[in-house]
Every structure is written in structure tokens, then in C-alpha cells.
Chain A
Amino acid sequence: MIRLENVTKIYGTETVAVRDASFDIPKSQFVFLVGPSGSGKSTLLRLINRQEQPERGDVWVAGQNINELPASRVPHLRRSMGNVFQDYKLLLNKTVFENVAFALEVIGKPRHVIARQVPIVLDLVGLADKQDRFPNQLSGGEQQRVSIARAFVNRPLIMLADEPTGNLDPNTSEGIMGLLDEINQTGTTVVMATHDHRVVNAMRRRVIQLDRGVIVRDQERGVYE
């Protein structure tokens, strides 16, 4: 589903964010990208959704070399991916329902599809009863659930999560991980960048470890170390 071949990403002229990274993530896999801050985890995610392009190497998503994709096709690539962030990136002037609906609205889905899909996914994340609240009336964990609902409402092939539990306490994090696991069970490939030892050790999934831009470990059913 996602394949990187000898990918190097340099910011400016000096800073090497990722050096010669290669890996292959099959469909429906759950993968952790781990490592300290600045080790290149976020850059890898940004290379996969083409917010960045590598200086060297190729990134393949669903059989397509996305670096050769013309800019006009990038929106369509992104429709096959959901993105979740540490800071949720919710729109504060929109309700829970509107935030999730927004993701469908801006890719031109008709109203009746929105009216059908949004409640289903809000039910999945356990927020069916809070759809008319605004983000700042919710707890951090609930806000992250809204953001996951928004990322998943279009049924993407891939879910990219950048430190989704970074702002949450252990109990809440557990709930979020359960939700991501559930989404993974539906066949969605999940790539999650984190430096949260507990969640990695509890889940026992594939772990790709980075250190200063270099992949130093790639292990099935790994722990954080």
C-alpha cells in the first residue's frame, strides 16, 4: 500500500530530515513510526501525503509513484488518506457535525450523502449525542475523536496519525488507540508517528524506529525500547 525507496528529504541546503529511508507497508497493516522529536517521523508522514516531496528516492502509494503525480491529481490522492494530528486541527466555529461534514462538503459530496455518512461515523467514534457541540465544549479526547471521525468519514485506504495521543492522558490515549485499532480492523492501513512508549508497548504492532532521519530498526510486533 505504501512503499518508500531510498527516500532522502533535505530542508533548505543543510538539514537532512530523512536519509535513505526504505520500507514497504502492506494493506491493512498498523505501523508505528517511533523516535525522539526531530528524528523525521512527521516528515515521513508528510512525504506520504505529498505535503513534501523528497530530494531523492520514490514514494509509492496504492501502486502509484506519487512524486510523479501532477499537482492537479494531488487532491485525489489525499482523498484516499485520512489525517489526524496532535492538535486536532478542528474548525472552532463549526459544530462537531459540521466539522465532519466539512470534509465531505469540500470534496463535493451531495447533501444526502453527508446526511447519511456523518451520523454513522460519529456513532463509530462514540459522539453521536454531542454532534451539536462546538470543539471547545469538548474534552481533548473527544476533540481527537471528532478529528478521527473527520479523517475516516470518507472511508480512506490509509490513515496517517501524527502524535494523536500527544496531548492526552493515558486513559484517554487508550480509548483513542482502541478507536484507531477498530479503524484498522476495517482494512484501513494505519501509520502512526509517536513517542508514547505505553501505547506502542501495549499494541505490539510493527515498529519502525528513526534516529536523526535514519531508520535504525524495523520490527514486526515490536516495542518502543
Chain B
Amino acid sequence: MFSRIAYAFRETWESFRRNITLTAAAVLTSAVSLLLVGATFLIQRAFENLLVQWRGDVEMIIFVRSDASAEQIALVDSVLRASPTIIDVEKLRYLNKTESYEEAKRIFVGDPVTLSLLAPETIPTQFKVVPLSDDPTLVRSLSDQYRTLPGVEAVALAEDEFEVISTLSNFIRVVTLITSLVLLLVAVGLIWNTIHTAMFARRREIEVMKLVGATNWFIRVPFMLEGLLQGFIGGVVSCGGLWLLNSAWTNGVTGFKPGTGISSLVVPDSYLTSVMFILLAIGALVGAVGSAIAATRFLDV
């Protein structure tokens, strides 16, 4: 058993050295495509931060003053429930102080100054409203009405604040995702090609191996390992790139004025780490799949 493993690794390394240019090309392509995949993840998450308070078709948020009495809150609630033809009562949600503070922590992740001004005791609570009507003027006139209720601090409409960003984020997400998928396919193709070349260079050896009774798996494994390694190294390079990109972005964002909303476009380190693990896994998988296809395809000696 040990001699087989040693054999596989030795062969992998030899082949790696022999095809250094092609290998480098395959590694770089997979790195670039994986970097884009990673960027897609981060962009998506960043926009999610920005849009977190509008998640689930919420079109209107009624902020209630932190010092509002229980009666005032109950009044707002009953007024909202009084128009079931315009407001989706089923989806009406009230976030108390703790919940609102949790949400704020996500929105202001890149803006510690603003976050430090907030506290669970002083934060406004909020009603999240999903309108049934598509008519923007109706929703707007409704919001003017709610603004005058006692205890209400402000009413925010999605239309005013995040419609553009939400469309933009969808667009960017689709574009980066498609580009990264195309590049991933190119990476599979390049890995496939390097493995093909490696196998062609060693066709005589493979022929002898088959004639003396080596199993197909025995012949295939070093090539698959080679492809897997190429994908994995591509993954490592892309992780480095992603980390640099994310640090630059995080540093850049702190330069913005607090409260502009841009500061929420920062992702927590824990998320970055999990994206990196995903990239390594995708890289290894892509490499193994590309080389497995090539190895199977060219094993008919």
C-alpha cells in the first residue's frame, strides 16, 4: 500500500516538473476564475449587508422612537393592520430593540463610529411593511399618513433608498457569476489539456503498464492527483488575491464619511475565511474532474 502511494506522489511531481509552462497556465487560469468566484461571493454578501433591512420584499420601514410607550407602538400596529387590502398583514414584522440592534451591527460593520453611537437601549425599533399594492403613489401617500402617528420617528421607503442599489447588485452578481463560470470552464479545459499532454508524453509507459496488468486506477491516479494539485494551487493563489482585494476594499471604505451607506459594504473576516475554503474546494474539485475526464478518455491504449 505504502509503495503505491509513494509511487503516485513521485509520478505526480515528475509530471508537474516536466510540463511546467502548461501547468503554470492552468494554475493561473484557475486562480483568476476562482478569484472571480470569490469576488462574486463577497460582493453578494456586501450588498446583502446593505439590503438586509429590506429583505423579503419589504418596501417600507416605520422607525419608532426608542422612548415610545407600549400604547403608541400598539397604535401603530393597529393602524397598519387596519388596511389589510394595501398591506400584507401576514408578512408584517416588528423588530424590538435587541433585534434592531443585531441588524444594525450588520449594516454598520465597516463603520464602527456610527455603530458606537448606537446602543440597544437607544436604538429605534421598527415595523417592516410588505405592501400588497404595486402602486407607488398609494404606498407613498400611506407613508405620509404613518409619519404623523405619535411615537413614529421616520418612515423609509425602499424606492427612495435602495431600489438602484438592489438592481445594481443583481446586475453585478449575474455578470461576475457568468464570467467566473466561463473562466472556470476554461480552467477545466486547460487542466484537461495539460493532463492530455502529460499522458501523451508517457504513452509508451502507459502501454507497458497496461500490458503488465496495472489497473486503470493505478495508471489514472497520478494524473488525477496532478490535476487536483493544479486546481488546488490555483485555489491558494486566488485566496491570496481575494485577501489582498478585500483588505484594500475594507481600508478604502473607512475613508468614506460615516452614514453614507457605503461603509456597510464590508464583509466580516469569518465570511472571508469560509469563502476561501470554498475556493480551495472548488479548485481541487475542478482539477480532479478535468483530469479524471482526460485520464479516462486517453486510457484506451
Interface of A toward B, CB cutoff 8 Å: 49, 72, 75-79, 81, 83, 89, 91, 102-103, 105-111, 150, 154
- Report if A78-B213 is in contact (Cβ < 8 Å); known contacts: A108-B4, A110-B3, A111-B3: yes
Instruction: Tell whether B209 is near chain A: CB-to-CB under 8 Å.
Output: yes
Proximity bits, B158-199, A CB within 8 Å = 1, else 0 = 000000000000000000000000000000000000000000
B215: chain A residues at CB < 8 Å are: 72, 75
Instruction: Tell whether B81 is near chain A: CB-to-CB under 8 Å.
Output: no
B3: chain A residues at CB < 8 Å are: 105, 108-111
Nearest residue, chain B, Cβ from A154: B212
A89 to B208, Cβ gap below 8 A? yes
Nearest residue, chain B, Cβ from A102: B208
A-B contact count (CB 8 A): 53
B204 to A103, Cβ gap below 8 A? no
Instruction: Tell whether B70 is near chain A: CB-to-CB under 8 Å.
Output: no
A106 to B214, Cβ gap below 8 A? yes
Listed from nearest, the 5 A-B pairs whose CB atoms lie closest are: A79-B213, A78-B213, A106-B214, A103-B212, A75-B213
A75 to B205, Cβ gap below 8 A? no
- Report if A105-B213 is in contact (Cβ < 8 Å); known contacts: A89-B207, A91-B204, A91-B208: no
A to B CB contacts below 8 Å, 28 in the list: A49-B211, A75-B210, A75-B216, A76-B213, A77-B213, A78-B211, A78-B213, A79-B212, A81-B213, A83-B211, A83-B212, A89-B207, A89-B208, A91-B205, A102-B208, A102-B212, A106-B209, A106-B212, A106-B214, A106-B218, A107-B212, A107-B213, A107-B214, A107-B218, A108-B3, A109-B3, A110-B3, A154-B212
A102: chain B residues at CB < 8 Å are: 208-209, 212
